[in-house]
A and B are shown apart, each in its own frame.
Chain A
Amino acid sequence: MSQLPRSFKRALWVFHIATGSCNGCDIEIVAALTPRYDTERFGIMLTGTPRHADVLLVTGPVTRPMLPRLKRVYEQTPDPKAVVVVGGCGSTGGVFYESYNVVGPIDNVIPVDVYVPGCPPRPEAIIDGVVKAVAKLESAGVSK
């Protein structure tokens, strides 16, 4: 059992990893950071390394070359952490379902807390997904 650090409520740092997405979802994640949605006012901001992250935002269906990298990034994220899958590709395989060069969906590789469906989902949905992941961790009160 481990408690969530207080920083989770005040400054949620998010690391984004694309595992072979078409970039549609990634652009929506970037849109969530623009002044129109301005997630930084809630303390949610992107970080350049998973070692500083509280939440992993994962997009894409996990192509074979990205498999070890996704695992490594998950391992490098400190506990407690939440994983949010953004987009249909990551949630179910989407248009790449059962493709020969895809090992996803993402929950085949790492444990997932929240799925944000859509192709691509709107920024509001992505922000909602991140907030839900934290709420889930808070209610469980345990580290992943």
Chain B
Amino acid sequence: MTGITTGFGAWNPIAWLLLFLGVVAGALFLRRFGNKQYKKNTGQTKVFLSGNEEPEASALHVRGAHLYWGFVDGLSAYYRRVRALHTGLLSDYVALFVGTLGVVLIVLVLSR
């Protein structure tokens, strides 16, 4: 038993394997037409950046933080204020905690 027929179609790993081998054979066949005089480990294998030097990979890659750039930029007015609150002083955080607790208590008392 090599395949399964489902309501959506058929799955046959052997057929996929044959297809994969066919694609690999096709790719290798096309590769034979490539330029064999290509020099490895020279400028010919480096990325072309308008003639500029290629920066270190770490400087070139998109960092995780960059994915949120639009989000952070859109909320920058909010972040500016919130960041200003983060002084790094424990007494400030305790004061904020006590203040917030006071507001929550007032709301709870008033809403009874």
B43, A72: Cβ atoms closer than 8 Å: yes
- Return the contact of B37 from the options A17, A51, A73, A78 (Cβ within 8 A): A78
Q: List residues of chain B with CB within 8 A of the CB of A50.
A: 48
B44, A77: Cβ atoms closer than 8 Å: yes
A78 to B37, CA, bound (A): 8
A143, B37: Cβ atoms closer than 8 Å: yes
Q: List residues of chain A with CB within 8 A of the CB of B51.
A: 17, 66, 68-70, 72-73
Interface residue ranges, B against A (CB under 8 Å): 35, 37-39, 42-44, 46, 48, 50-53
A72 to B53, CA, bound (A): 8
6 residue pairs from A and B, CB less than 8 Å apart: A2-B37, A5-B37, A17-B51, A69-B50, A77-B44, A79-B38
- With contacts A72-B43, A72-B53, A75-B42 taken as known, whether A49 is within 8 angstroms of B48 at the C-beta atoms is yes
Q: List residues of chain B with CB within 8 A of the CB of A76.
A: 43-44, 46, 48
Q: List residues of chain B with CB within 8 A of the CB of A20.
A: none
Main secondary structure of the interface of B (DSSP, over half): loop
Interface residue ranges, A against B (CB under 8 Å): 2, 5, 17, 49-51, 66, 68-70, 72-73, 75-80, 143
A79, B37: Cβ atoms closer than 8 Å: yes
A78, B48: Cβ atoms closer than 8 Å: no
A143 to B37, CA, bound (A): 9
A73 to B43, CA, bound (A): 8
